[in-house]
Structure 1
Amino acid sequence: MKGALVYLLVSIACAVVGQVLLKQGMRVAGPVTLSLYGLPHLILQLATNPWVVVGMSLYLGGSLFWLTALSRLDLSLAYPFAGLNYVLILLASYFVFGEALNPTRIAGALLIALGVSLIARSA
């Protein structure tokens, strides 16, 4: 069980770091508009953006750890842990990008963390 939790936590870490890198990549790329006409250019722009490439790679790697965790844990235990992504992304957004934290966001993150801790105790 402990090994499976390690896979789960690595999966969460990959997702959080991947999201931070993807956000940085999109800050570099600028606002994107989806259109059929501009799709080839957008794909090329994103495929040559190192932040996006590494972020997507972490997402893929994290998915492999997630699948490994799922093969060893109950879904009803593993999936709520994914809620930690929201808490960690909130913190990363604040510290890395200087995004605002307000009482509502903080309260929501605390409720998520409380819920995950309650579910973890049932393991």
Structure 2
Amino acid sequence: MINFILILIGVVLNAIAQLLLKKGMVLVGKLSFDIQTIIGLLPSIIKNIYIWSGIGSYVISLLVWLIVLSRVQVSYAYPFLSLGYIIAAIIGYYYLGESLSVYKISGICVICLGVIILSRG
């Protein structure tokens, strides 16, 4: 049970990291492959609390994931990462105002079914 909880903590932290980074970049603006644009936006990126929080969440999720991988088979743990899609879609809808279409909801249901099947194997 503790391994399952650790997996969920890692997945949630990873999804939160993505959402924090997205929020940070919404505030910074669009980046391009133009070096001058990147250099111009670099101070905004460095000062952005959402970006730093996202990076911090990634680091913590990595540490949790290392613990997970030391305890369970990767073939068991890895499929749970797909739950991050669900978390990101739902929080993105409510927090970032992103769309949640019938296709996305259908995909989320398929992912849930797949994770349930894999977790029982």
TM-score under structure 2 normalisation?
A: 0.91
Q: What is aligned with 2:17?
A: 18
What is the DSSP-based 3-state SS (H/G/I as helix, E as strand, rest coil) of the residue aligned with 1:69? helix
Q: Which residue pairs with 2:26 in the alignment?
A: 27
Counterpart for residue 94 of structure 2: 95
Answer whether contact 2:83 2:111 (CA < 8 A) is retained.
Answer: yes
Offset of 1:59 from its aligned partner? 0.6
When structure 1 is superposed on structure 2, of 29-38 and 79-88 the one drifting more is: 29-38
Shift of 1:39: 4.2
- Amino acid of the structure 2 residue aligned with 1:6: I
**2: CA distance between counterparts of 1:99 and 1:78?**
28
- Structure 1 residue ranges without an equivalent (≥5): none
CA contact (8 A) 2:28 2:41 kept: no
Whether 1:66 and 2:38 are equivalent positions in the alignment is no
* Unmatched segments (≥5 aa) in structure 2: none
Which residue does the alignment assign to 1:118? Answer: 117
Identity of aligned residues (%): 30
Find the aligned partners of 2:73 and 2:43 in 1 and give their Cα distance: 40
Instruction: Render the CA deviation track for 1:89-114: whole Å, top value 9, x for unaligned.
Output: 11111111121111111111110011
**Partner residue of 2:104?**
105
Residue 28 of structure 1 and its aligned partner are, at CA, apart by 0.6
Distance of 1:44 and 1:112 partners within structure 2 = 39
How many residue pairs were aligned? 121
Q: CA RMSD in A?
A: 1.4
Scaled by the length of structure 1, the TM-score of the pair is 0.90
Letter in 2 for 1:14: L
The residue aligned with 2:4 is 5
